[in-house]
Amino acid sequence: MKQIWARPSFFFKITNPIFPGVLILTGLLFAAGLYTGLLASPPDYQQGDAMRIMYIHVPASWMALFVYAFLGLMSLFILVWRHPLAEVLAVSAVPIGALFTILSLTTGSLWGKPMWGAYWVWDARLTSVLVLLFLYGGYWALYKAYSHPGQGIRAASLLALVGVINLPIIKGSVTWWNTLHQPASLTKLSSPSIHPTMLTPLILMAGAYFFYFVSVLILRTRTELNMRKLYVWEGMR
């Protein structure tokens, strides 16, 4: 008998009461983060107002990695324990993670133009994040390539686990290789190399991105579960 937390009904029971609060929190954090980042925080003494794209770019980059780590964890549950809810969560998370990765690459290119003089260079950090986008795309392609959903999800999960090795490469790329990308400014939150007036909106936007992920994941998972239930009902008719 499957554990109760592996059942779709458990997901609905947990998410139904918290979903409105997650939506409200997402909106409040976005409003506070965008106001403090775009209006209240000062311009950078070197980069000027162009630096403000950091408040969009950096949290998107963090979430691109976080969602892939989540995908890797769900893939482990799928391959080892055949977790039915993990399968739905993984499939629901992939498009969100790909969106964060595209946003990271796009805003990074826009930021790179005034800083580096080019929208794109084959920098170690940029290249490894591009590989991350290919991993998201490869997962989705493998999942859809098989006529039998069970085969597709297992092949995609195996790719996701192999791709986890790219996460430390992305994190360490700015220190392992000589790159144009600036090193991390928040290695230690107790003494970050960034002024509090800039750190505050960055943390607010990171929270907004996180709760956006949670809210969209809940919506997509609900939709996927309902579609599968409808498919079963139609098959029984």
CB 160 within 8 A of CB 138: no
pLDDT in tens, 59-90: 999 999 999 999 999 999 999 988 889 999 99
CB 220 within 8 A of CB 212: no
Which H helix or E strand runs over 173? helix 166-176
Name residue 44's beta-bridge partners.
Answer: 48
Query: To the nearest whole number, what is the mean pLDDT of the chain?
Result: 88
CB 205 within 8 A of CB 33: yes
pLDDT in tens, 92-134: 999 999 999 999 999 999 988 888 888 888 888 999 999 999 9
In percent, the amount of the chain with pLDDT more than 70 equals 87
Query: How much is the pLDDT for 1?
Result: 41
Q: Is the pLDDT of residue 232 over 80?
A: no
CB 47 within 8 A of CB 115: yes
Rounded Cα gap, residues 212 and 201, in angstroms? 16
CB 98 within 8 A of CB 136: yes
Tracing tokens 């920098």 back to the chain, one arrives at 123
Query: How much is the pLDDT for 216?
Result: 98
Q: State the Cα torsion 128-130-133-139 to the nearest 10°.
A: -60
Tracing tokens 């969106």 back to the chain, one arrives at 99
Query: How much is the pLDDT for 114?
Result: 84
Phi, psi of 86 (to 5 degrees): -60, -35
Q: What angle do CA 52, 57, 60 make, to 5 degrees?
A: 140
pTM for the full predicted model: 0.90
* CA proximity to 62, closest of 210, 198, 220: 210
